Amino acid sequence: MSTDAIMARQEDRHHYRQHQGRRLQWVAIGAMLLLGLFLLDMTLGPGKLGLAQVAATLMDPDGADVKSRFIIWDIRLPVALMAVLVGAALGGAGALMQTILNNPLAEPFTLGISHAAAFGAALAIAFGAPLLPWEWAQGYMITLNAFLFACLSAGVIFLVSRMRGSTQETMILTGIAILFVFSALNAMLQFAASAETLQQIVFWAMGSLGRATWPKVGVTAVLLLLACVLLSRSAWRLTALRMGDEAAEAMGVNVNRIRLLVLLLSSLLAAVAVAFVGIIGFVGLVGPHMARMLLGEDQRFFLPGSMLFGAILLTIAEMLSKSIIPGILLPIGITTSLIGVPFFVFLLVVVRRRSWS
């Protein structure tokens, strides 16, 4: 090998390392930002607890008075954690869907999964119609119904895709068909509902992190962790998929298999998120696009980045939802879009790199 060639290779390697380093830097900055926001979130609320008191109650719950303990451990902490987890789940689900469908518009919302969940919840609210017969399930009827319908819609996309070959068009069009079916069914339920029931249905769909409880936080965390472990092993396959089906196949990727598998995983993430807190659009769409703009297409950075940005967005939205009118919670679905859109447009204008290719 000539000296020139060796030099060139060394230069390439140097470039690659530099590039990776910059990406790692962005991820680290994002993680720090999220941590800072999370801590800030913990100090906000009508309870007017100082940082020291928050920290003391967190470290030593038994030593704190009843009210502080309730505020920190029963209200703020589960909600703040849920904002991070659900933001990450939605960002991750959106990123996966955009990747396997090779479509910048794909997210749980556009694939009808959110609408299916909303219909399941509305069914429980309007008719008290549980899908599961067991006694313990009664207290979680709305959540379970939402989850089952979200899974059902993902299942339909999955089955149709298997029958018709798992092409992107099939999946997207099936998803859009599902979206319309469930939004029509939803409208029908709302039409038939009484005034108070209608109010419940509408507000459920607007989303609220106030529904967070420790079991819900636990379920979401476990699922998210599981997804991360599974995905870390196939990140390179997903990166290959973005180069086109043929290129991916040439690299030895079983395109059908990975696409169906990832569809199931991302639907599960979205289903849990929607079932627990209601419909939160936009995070699943924009989190991944922000990550792509700053971190590029390599799934090893893109996926965690999407989750990180999803979590950051939702945490900011959560803080706003409780701060705009002190003592009142605005629906999280509203604040998410209101803060997400300007930030997203800012990135679109400032980051000139073409992020979708």
Partner 1 sequence: MFRKCLLLLCACFITLPTLAAERQITDLLGRTLILPSQVDRIILSEARLMYILMPLQKDDPFAHVVAWSDDMERADPDTYIKLAETFPDTVNTLPRFGHPGKVTFDVEKALTLDAQLVVVNQAYHQLWQENGTLDKLEKAGIATLFVDFRDAPTENTLPSIRILGEVLHKEKEAEAVNAFIAEKMARVAERMEGLKAEDRPLVLMERASGMGDCCRVFGPNNFGHYVELAGGTNWGSDKTQALSLDINPEALVTEPFDLIIGTGANWQEAYPEANSLNLGYKAEDENLQRGFQALTQRAGWQAIDAVANKEFYGIWHQFYNSPTYFAAIEAMAQWMHPERMQGIDAEADFREFHERFMPFSYEGRFWVKMQ
Per CB under 8 A, residues contacting partner 1 are 45-48, 66-67, 70-71, 74-76, 124-126, 128, 138, 141-142, 191, 193-197, 199-200, 203-204, 208, 210-211, 213, 322, 325, 327-331
Smallest distance, Å, CB 113 to partner 1?
A: 22
Residue with Cβ nearer partner 1 (310 or 331) = 331
Residue 24 CA to residue 342 CA, distance in Å, equals: 26
Instruction: Provide, rounded to whole angstroms, the least separation between the CB of residue 194 and partner 1.
Output: 3
Tokens linked to 172:
């997207």
| Measured CA distances, 239 to 22, 96, 303 (Å) | 19, 11, 10
- Cβ neighbour number for residue 9 with a 10 Å cutoff: 11
- Furthest C-alpha separation in the chain: 81
| Closest CB to partner 1 among residues 25, 138 | 138
CB burial readout 292-326, b (16+ within 10 A) else e: bbbbbbbbbbbbbbbbbbbbbbbbbbbbbbbeeee
Q: How far is the CB of 180 from partner 1 (least distance, A)?
A: 21
Q: Which is nearer to partner 1, 100 or 141 (CB)?
A: 141
Q: Which is nearer to partner 1, 250 or 328 (CB)?
A: 328
Least distance in Å: CB of 91 to partner 1? 24
CB of 325 to partner 1, least distance (A): 5
| Cβ 355 to partner 1 shortest distance, Å | 36
Q: C-alpha distances in angstroms, 244 versus 35, 248, 291?
A: 36, 6, 20
Of the two residues 134 and 352, which places its CB atom closer to partner 1 in the complex? 134
Q: How far is CA 178 from CA 90, 112, 168, 263, in A?
A: 19, 5, 15, 15
> In whole angstroms, what is the distance from residue 159 CA to residue 163 CA?
6
Smallest distance, partner 1 to C-beta of residue 143, A? 11
**What b/e string do you get for 83-94 counting C-beta neighbours within 10 Å, with b at 16 or more?**
bbbbbbbbbbbb
**Closer CB to partner 1, residue 18 or residue 199?**
199
Q: Which residues contact 170 (CB under 8 A, 6 or more apart)?
A: 160, 161, 164
Which CB, 100 or 125, lies closer to partner 1?
125
> Distance between CA 234 and CA 8 in Å, rounded?
30
Between residues 174 and 208, which has the closer beta carbon with respect to partner 1?
A: 208
C-alpha closest to that of 356 among 15, 96, 104? 104
CB of 30 to partner 1, least distance (A): 28
